[in-house]
Structure 1
């Protein structure tokens, strides 16, 4: 399609400017952009980007007449497009291609009068590429995230129905099915195009639905056999209502039917079990129900809470602000918030030096600005290529940047030598170049991405020689200029790779995860103390008390997203080559969400103080779990270079967690169930976390 637009304008209409923009628009959006999804999904995204392409071409055309305006424009446009990655995988994938559409008109000829031809060429190239993506690349679409969650909800329904019918723990086959369904919702198992990563209401709610479904599956799999003594009908009623809610959730995600009726049924069954578990008024619950029954009730109430969150989030994901299910304001704070405000929340959450999206935006904006300044001040021939090299070769870590630059320079040099041979042999016969161009484009765009950056740069060097040989009288010095530009662009990328966060997202992920667990530990201690004394302190009485932890979760999620695209760092903090620890980073994120949800649930009024023994036990357990969180946090923090041993950081079972004070009420067992789930998350995080001896000392004395 790139060759079609180029030939139509160059030889059919005699408009070389339009031909150039038609070709490079396809190169930008088809070669540089990495928009995830199927051909039709990519075509839909690029169609919506057409007005953005017009704005970028027009801005680049008018700002290029002066070097200072072009440089300032590059700084603003470069940062804005790179920072737009906070909107999800599609904006992130489109950003490099859009950057090129501003860079292309920023160089000679400085001719605002040719803006019409430039826009015509851009539009034609985009239209041809959209048609090719939609019609020629009809690869089968992967299951959507909604379908994945619906399948997981069906598995949850089967598990809950079996527990209600047989009152025995799930079989190994059922547990394995629950685990597989849960794993299918992890971001690593979901194609980028299907991940609900946007800032809007529906995307947030769909991500919330997946998280709640994973929580429900985990709690169903861990539920022990139900005791046969005590008020079993209420427990069975809750589990049956959970099964029906799971079915309604799957139906909502697939057909759009409302789960409101099943949500009300589950809410009523949950309230009945909660009332039975709490016991008659003014009578200690422990005097009537044995501890085993109360533990069972607490676990089943946790399951009901996860199912209610799943159904409500699913309805919100499908219906948006018109959801029919009653929502909890604190948990679904975004439900009634307008889209611009949600975007502002997302942007503000990443507007800091700890955000990897902010780091990437600053790095690429400064590098492109420096390249544009050098090209403008020194009147670098074909300075566009220098900026293109800076854009394509700058990486998020210094080691990866240097490795990429070495391969790119070797490939460019090889391509330049081949270009010189072609230009000297063919001379000014444009017919040969016209015949070679589509064949070479096919080779470059198929072989280059597969064989690596060296091959890509070499093939692209020959490609640009074939293109410009048809636009102006060819000379072998064109290849020389290409090598010079790539060398300058690579040097600029390397400099800013050193100056701006050269270690990439690996250490940033460790830092943000450590901060997340520190924030979570504070809430665990405060919540346990509030449950023990039966009062809510002012910071815990309002929804904003969770904002610090929510922001920590946002930053950790963004760092986790970047790390998935980076290679594993080869060196430890002391410079020695070490094996990276096996960490379940998503368990860290789930621990943060569990802390938020559990705290809000336990502090729902009315609150009554625990008896002295239960209050003392709840406070001690909360402090122990918080201490383990701080211990894990200290081990994850990259600031400590103490030699570490590859041993588990915590024991799978926390001593004292199963201790049962006499006469403990239902709220005590609900608190213990919450703390136990947090301990499970911590155990998953630290399966093979290196243990810092100094971190243990700090945590044990806190």
Structure 2
């Protein structure tokens, strides 16, 4: 399972760093757990408060995987304290009857697992919060002890927040805002070079643009720094990154052919783009408003757009100043420069919105920032509603986890399963998103638990009722368990944790060797129930869902491409809000595809290798997502009023090109769909040369060339999807060459074994 000479997928060269990271975490957990457990247990003789203080620390420090630095985690956990109180109180009140405890587990289990839609921090905290509800759901059913339970929970949270903030401080990684600011400065330099010297960018500038674009990709950004939340600022910061990648790519692909009469207008736009890029960086770093530079670019863009509206020239050497028409090469350049300006305007507006929230200082382009004036509760509702369906991976994970935990609670309540808490803990930590991974995890966990049970039984028999020995062994064993377990894998983690819980409960009640037997039985029951629901509920995880979501995205995109091309050809603005019909459907398809892609990166290959549901190696999933974004943005830009009617030849050409691109989208969609019969890797699915598919019509205005430029970019994306390779021209869509992460094979909102 691991690399040669490594342990559980961790190469030898990385073992010291892995042990150092888990060791720091283990020291924090051990110190805080001891500081909460021993005073309550032996100083104040309050075993209930001691139990909750210790298991609160285990929940937040062992089960939860909240990304970020210590101070970031501390701030987030401090905000979770009211949630912890509510979970302990509700679990205590509902536990007195089996039916209420079962219904509570169903509702709370789903809600906590589904909270992963809020971003990586809620997803990382969900397993620990599950544990805080599970703990009071089992004997003793004593609502009268709620005060001690809340006291222990509060103590554990407070001490762990202090430890995370003060012990072993970590250097803060580069924030996403700073990454975006640096990318904006790269865009400024590129725009200045293009304004000063007509022609394409040189090699160093292209490499700088590609590097800045890659730095904004999710795989290059630490999980805690990704703007994944549903709020206005997080959404706007995500939009900033997408717009910057588009801007850098458009600058890298900018053609020559300005024409003598319009060179000044093109240069003015590029200089305004450079100024706005610099203002965007200043806005992200210092909070200054980019409004003046935004207005300057809007004015320059309007002048160039007005110059470009005329039909092509008969005399290719004539310029605009001579009162004659512009040649097609100049119009193609103008269309590309106007797309650069559009990306720069979107970047500045998104950055200002990310800094100022619902009170931006710049004019927002219509349609792109629908969330700008919506309050936070409604944005959370939008995010939840977008995933409230069986095709959402977050929804699947929540249903799977809630049903499994509910089944265990029902079995424990009906059959009076001894220490049923451990069975639910096993379900929480061992359930995975694919059948193959669940079975592999359970086998290792059972082997580790058996070994741990044997060690526990031996210790309990040898030591007997001498609690002083258990008190001395507990912190030492806890330090070892939380250091070694996460690195060595689930088998070691379960074995070490089995001994750990035996040492804890031996100090709370009369110890007996049968405690180890009960632990083994509970793990077997919990893992079996988790495996059953892993088989019944989406046993292939996100692999099939990613293919299905990508296929649906391309189908929706094809509809918009056809409708947009027809609207441009006819010169009529659609009556539907924000573009053409289906715009909202494509937005939701993009969201679902992004969530499936995020999860599939943490899953192993499906069972059976390259079977019907296997992920084709040649597919570039990132290009699929980018194609969806390009379709949305390009459609909105092309349909901005007023729309000028094209000549019959130009209209027919635009309509034909749109249908051709839509047809290629549908072909690739059918190849990706797991229910289809077309293999995604047999032969070229598309011809990347769109320009040569139709004759260039005479008399076409600038809007025709803008449409062709948009359709060409979509064809480039489709080429990457089908072949899994990037073109040689560096741009914002070039796929990363780094390997997908091999660790962390768990669903958002599920736990890593402690």
Quickly name the TM-score band, shorter chain normalised. Answer: over 0.9
Q: What CA distance in whole angstroms lies between the structure 2 residues aligned with 1:619 and 1:644?
A: 27
Q: Which residue of 1 aligns with 2:651?
A: 615
1:677 aligns with 2:708: no
CA-CA distance at 1:592 after TM superposition: 1.1
Does structure 1 residue 488 correspond to structure 2 residue 529?
no
Quick check: 1:330–1:543 contact (8 Å CA) kept in 2? no
Q: How does 1:631-670 map to 2 (within 5 A)?
A: 631-641=667-677, 645-654=681-690, 656=692, 659-670=695-706
Say whether the 8 Å CA contact 1:657–1:672 is kept in structure 2: no
Structure-2 separation of matches of 1:399 and 1:316: 44
Contiguous gaps of at least 5 residues in structure 2: 1-31, 726-754
CA deviations 1:29-59 (Å, max 9, x no partner) are: 1111111111111111100000000000000
Other structure's SS at 2:358 match:
helix
- 2:333 pairs with 296, 304, 315, which one? 296
The separation in 2 between residues aligned to 1:92 and 1:152, in whole angstroms, is 29
Task: Show the 5 A alignment for 1:123-138.
Answer: 123-138=154-169
- Shift of the alpha carbon at 1:329? 3.1
Partner of 1:501: 538
Once the two structures are superposed, what CA deviation does each residue of 1:306-352 show, in whole Å capped at 9, x if it has no partner? 00000000000000111010112311111111111111111111111
Residue 235 of structure 1 corresponds to 266
* Structure 2 partner of 1:218: 249
**2:40 corresponds to which residue?**
9
Q: Deviation at 1:469?
A: 0.7
In 2: Cα distance, 1:281 partner to 1:160 partner: 26
Partner of residue 450 from structure 1, selected from 469, 476, 487: 487
Match of 1:47 in 2: 78
8 Å contact from structure 2 (residues 460, 511) kept in 1 = yes
Question: Structure 1 stretch 527-536 or stretch 253-262: which is displaced more?
Answer: 527-536
Q: CA deviation digits over 1:236-276, x for unaligned, max 9?
A: 00000001110000000000000000000000000000001
1:269 alignment partner, one of 300, 308, 314: 300
Q: 2:672 touches 2:680 (CA, 8 Å); kept in 1? A: no
How far, CA to CA, are the matches of 2:364 and 2:56 in structure 1? 46
CA RMSD of aligned residues (A): 2.0
> Quick check: 1:568–1:580 contact (8 Å CA) kept in 2?
no
**Change over 3 Å in CA distance of 1:682–1:192 after alignment to 2:** same
Q: What is the aligned partner in structure 2 of residue 379 from structure 1?
A: 416
Residue 399 (structure 1) aligns with: 436
Relative to structure 1, the CA distance from residue 209 to residue 596 in structure 2 (aligned partners, 3 Å threshold; closer, same or farther) is: same
Question: Partner of 2:140 in structure 1?
Answer: 109
Tell whether 2:369 aligns with 1:332. yes
* Separation in structure 2 between the aligned mates of residue 299 and residue 209 of structure 1, nearest angstrom: 20
C-alpha distance 644-54 of structure 1, shift in aligned 2 (>3 A): closer
1:141 alignment counterpart: 172
- Match of 2:723, SS state, is coil
Q: Say yes or no: does 1:553 pair with 2:584.
A: no
- In structure 2, the partner of 1:591 is 627
Once the two structures are TM-superposed, the CA of residue 131 in structure 1 deviates from its matched residue by 1.1
Retained in 2: the 8 A contact 1:17–1:121? Answer: yes
Does 2:191 match 1:155?
no
- Conserved 8 A contact 1:230-1:293: no
Checking the alignment, whether the CA contact within 8 Å between 2:312 and 2:700 is kept in structure 1 is no
TM-score normalised by L of structure 2? 0.89
Aligned-pair distance for 1:192? Answer: 1.0
Corresponding residue SS for 2:146: helix
Task: Trace 1:68-467 onto structure 2 (pairs within 5 A).
Answer: 68-279=99-310, 288-467=325-504
Size of the aligned set, in residue pairs, is: 688
- 3-state DSSP of counterpart to 2:692: coil
Greater share of residues in helix: 1
- Give the corresponding residue for 2:28: none
**Matches of 2:366 and 2:330, distance apart in 1:** 31
The correspondence of residues 554-593 of structure 1 with structure 2, limited to 5 A, is: 554-572=591-609, 574=611, 580-593=616-629
Quick one: structure 1 residues 244 and 658, their matched pair in 2 at CA, closer, same or farther if it must change by over 3 Å? farther
Once residues 688 and 464 of structure 2 are traced to their aligned partners in structure 1, the CA distance between those partners, rounded to angstroms, is: 74
Matched residue, 1:692: none
Higher relative contact order (Cα pairs below 8 Å, separated by 6+ residues): 2
Deviations 1:519-541 (A, max 9, x none): 11111111111111111343467
Query: Equivalents in 1 of 2:120, 2:637: separation in Å?
Result: 33
Q: CA deviation at 1:570?
A: 4.6
Q: 1:101 is paired with a residue of what secondary structure? A: helix
Please, which moves more after superposition, 565-574 or 598-607? 565-574
Q: Contact 2:616 / 2:680 at 8 angstroms: preserved in 1?
A: no
CA contact (8 A) 2:618 2:681 kept: no
After TM superposition, the score normalised by the length of structure 1 is 0.95
Q: Distance in 2 between matches of 1:395 and 1:381?
A: 25
- The answer to whether the 8 Å contact 1:649/1:688 transfers is no
Residue 283 of structure 1 deviates from its aligned partner by: 12
Displacement of 1:642 after TM fit?
A: 5.1
Q: CA deviation at 1:651?
A: 3.3
Aligned to 2:509: 472
In the alignment, structure 1 segments of 5+ residues that lack a partner are 690-702
Residue in structure 2 matching 1:532, options 569, 576, 589: 569
Aligned to 1:700: none
Aligned equivalents of 2:408, 2:574: Cα separation in 1: 55
Aligned counterparts of 1:543 and 1:408: Cα–Cα separation in 2: 53
Work out whether residues 574 and 580 of structure 2, in 8 Å CA contact, stay in contact via their aligned partners in 1.
no
Cα distance in structure 2, aligned partners of 1:318 and 1:543: 31
Report how far residue 658 of structure 1 moved: 7.3
1:20-39 to structure 2, matched below 5 A, reads 20-39=51-70
Q: Could you tell me how far apart the structure 1 residues matched to 2:637 and 2:584 are?
A: 16
Question: Does the CA contact (< 8 Å) of 1:394 and 1:401 recur in 2?
Answer: yes
3-state SS of the aligned residue for 2:674? coil
Deviation at 1:163, TM superposition (A): 0.4
- Decide whether aligned partners of structure 1 residues 504 and 345 sit closer, same or farther in structure 2, where only a CA change above 3 A counts: same
Deviation at 1:645, TM superposition (A): 4.2
| Whole-angstrom CA distance in 2 between matches of 1:365 and 1:541 | 38
Q: Distance in 2 between matches of 1:618 and 1:465?
A: 73
Asked if structure 2 preserves the Cα contact closer than 8 Å seen for 1:71 and 1:372, the reply is yes
The CA distance in 2 between the partners of 1:405 and 1:299, in whole Å, is 56
Structure-1 separation of matches of 2:397 and 2:168: 31
